[in-house]
């Protein structure tokens, strides 16, 4: 479990604390591979010899576009914090959470990204904060834990 960072960093309520979460390394890798894959398969499709029809070449282009779209979507994972909660855009699913629903923020234990433990016993992955981002990923996980701690306080602070 990630402990909130109460020693330094942005002041509670500051715009810096509420900036969106985005993977750095994962985004770069997905976009570079997507562009390279699309260019390579397009070149292959257009250079196929005569026995291949334009329909078959088009199918290769369609596969190239589908793979590039998945890689683009992988590069676009993000999470948007606000005063009311967290909106997590993962590869396929978008999840809206209120701060009170989030019990713990975890990075590690074999998971490549942050996992949120929810009050109903469920977990939600936040693919925008990745262990592959090393120290930056750890700091972003601490920033998220700080947001959870600041926004889920109650009068009793339980």
Residue 57, class by beta-carbon neighbours within 10 Å (0-12 exposed, 13-18 middle, 19+ buried)? middle
Stated pTM of the model: 0.77
Chain mean pLDDT for the chain: 88
Domain 77-151 has CATH 3.40.640.10: no
- 3-state SS string over 2-25? CCCCCCCCCCCCCCCCCCCEECCH
Instruction: Please write the tens of the pLDDT for every residue from 54-109.
Output: 999 999 999 999 999 999 999 999 999 998 999 999 999 999 999 999 999 998 87
Instruction: Please write the tens of the pLDDT for every residue from 51-67.
Output: 999 999 999 999 999 99
CA-CA distance, 121 to 101, in Å (whole number)? 10
Task: Give the rounded percent of residues in the chain with a pLDDT score beyond 90.
Answer: 66
Domain boundaries in the chain? 28-74, 77-151
Over 60: is that where the pLDDT of 155 sits?
Answer: no
């Amino acid at each position: 479990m990630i402990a909130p960072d109460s020693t330094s960093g942005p002041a509670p309520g500051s715009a810096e604390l509420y900036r969106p979460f985005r993977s750095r390394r994962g985004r770069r890798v997905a976009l570079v591979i997507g562009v390279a894959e699309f260019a390579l398969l397009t070149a292959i499709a257009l250079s196929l010899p005569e026995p291949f029809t334009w329909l078959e070449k088009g199918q290769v282009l369609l596969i190239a576009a589908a793979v590039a779209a998945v890689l683009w979507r992988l590069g676009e994972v993000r999470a948007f914090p606000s005063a009311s909660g967290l909106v997590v855009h993962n590869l396929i699913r978008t999840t809206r959470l209120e701060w009170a629903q989030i019990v713990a923020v975890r990075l590690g234990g074999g998971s490549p990204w942050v996992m949120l433990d929810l009050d109903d016993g469920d977990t939600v992955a936040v693919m925008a904060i990745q262990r592959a981002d090393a120290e930056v990923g750890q700091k972003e996980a601490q920033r998220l834990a700080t947001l959870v701690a600041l926004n889920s306080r109650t009068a009793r602070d339980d």
